[in-house]
Structure 1
Amino acid sequence: MAEAAREELVRIEGNWYFPPSSVRDGALAESATPYTCPWKGVAQYWDIRSGAGLPDGAWSYPHPFDGAADRVGREFAGYVAFDPRVTIEE
């Protein structure tokens, strides 16, 4: 579903965020689920279409709030994190 070198990933609050270019085309479909993190910003949820599928199984922050990247130590706009039920392998 996504593949990237570890140095390309961003770790935020226990979740690995993958660069948008590492997510396979067609693996995700936009979800209408709303959520706003108080410090990261408005989230875009994604339904995972691969395998058995998983509604809202991934999320990203297309336009993080000002200062969010400073708090993380790195830019993460558009990076995609996956639900804990999705296996992340090294």
Structure 2
Amino acid sequence: MKTIVLKNIVRNSSSNEEGLILFDLLRDAYLKNEQILLDVDSNLAMSSSFLNTSIGSFLDNYGFSKFKETFKFKGSKSQFERLNNYISNYKELYLA
């Protein structure tokens, strides 16, 4: 498993452009059949734009089961809840 510290790969976690950087890493890991552990600093907030471009795009292209196989998360409880809510809402809307 490869650990990626989010603050070391993006300047911020509030824009589509920065989300694309994370999407590219997730996509490359998936294509290489690798797992990613994303370590998010407790002070870093992830905006909807960032999540849509990174996590949402990955889910659109490869699906939830491939996301679970590829992606693990390490961060604060509030960040985990934010990410969990994002994914839950995505799954509800996508299946509708």
Q: Which TM-score band applies after superposition, normalised by the shorter structure?
A: under 0.3
TM-score scaled by length of structure 1:
0.23
- Of Structure 1 and Structure 2, the greater strand share is in 1
TM-score scaled by length of structure 2:
0.22
